[in-house]
Amino acid sequence: MKKITDLYASFRRLTVPTQIWMMLVLAPANFLTLALVDGPLGFIIPLLSMLGFIPNLGIAWVQNGFSAAMALPHLVFWTPQVLILGAYFAQTPANSSFTHIAYALIFVVNSISLLFDIRETAKWFGGQKSIA
């Protein structure tokens, strides 16, 4: 139980905007992709969303908190996801279908996340390995 309370305490030490972003935007958008398995891009978009998220459970667990290392899986898996979605939008006319809107949402959210992840990864490789 101490591990869980330590992880929660680390999360709460993140800035309030970061906490809000993670809980109300980033996580819901990426979990939304699980509803897109039957979409035109198939399983790849939800798979890349989950692969960008799941390793962070292990990273946080091992480090006993949140650190800049958690940006690495995002860079590895969400970069190709954003590129795939960008190619999809370049080839597909805009429409108001649930799938198209959900793809657009994940494209925007993970593109924004990647901008922050680049900075966090640079910090981590630069030696800032502390946890929040």
pLDDT tens digits for range 13-33: 999 999 999 999 999 999 999
What are 27's two structure tokens? Answer: 């996580």
Smallest CA-to-CA distance from 57 within 2, 4, 116, 93 is with 4
Structure-token match 């958008």, residue found: 29
Record the pTM. 0.93
pLDDT at 128 over 90: no
pLDDT computed for residue 1 by the predictor:
87
> How far, in Å, CA of 118 to CA of 74, rounded?
9
Query: What letter represents residue 42's amino acid?
Result: G
Mean pLDDT across the chain: 96
pLDDT at 132 over 90: no
pLDDT computed for residue 107 by the predictor:
98
> How far, in Å, CA of 106 to CA of 39, rounded?
14
pLDDT band at 96 (very low <50, low <70, confident <90, very high): very high
pLDDT computed for residue 119 by the predictor:
95
What are 130's two structure tokens? Answer: 């502390």
Listed in sequence order, the residues at least 6 apart from 72 whose beta carbon sits closer than 8 Å to its beta carbon are 55, 59, 117, 121, 124
pLDDT computed for residue 123 by the predictor:
92
What are 94's two structure tokens? Answer: 């805009």
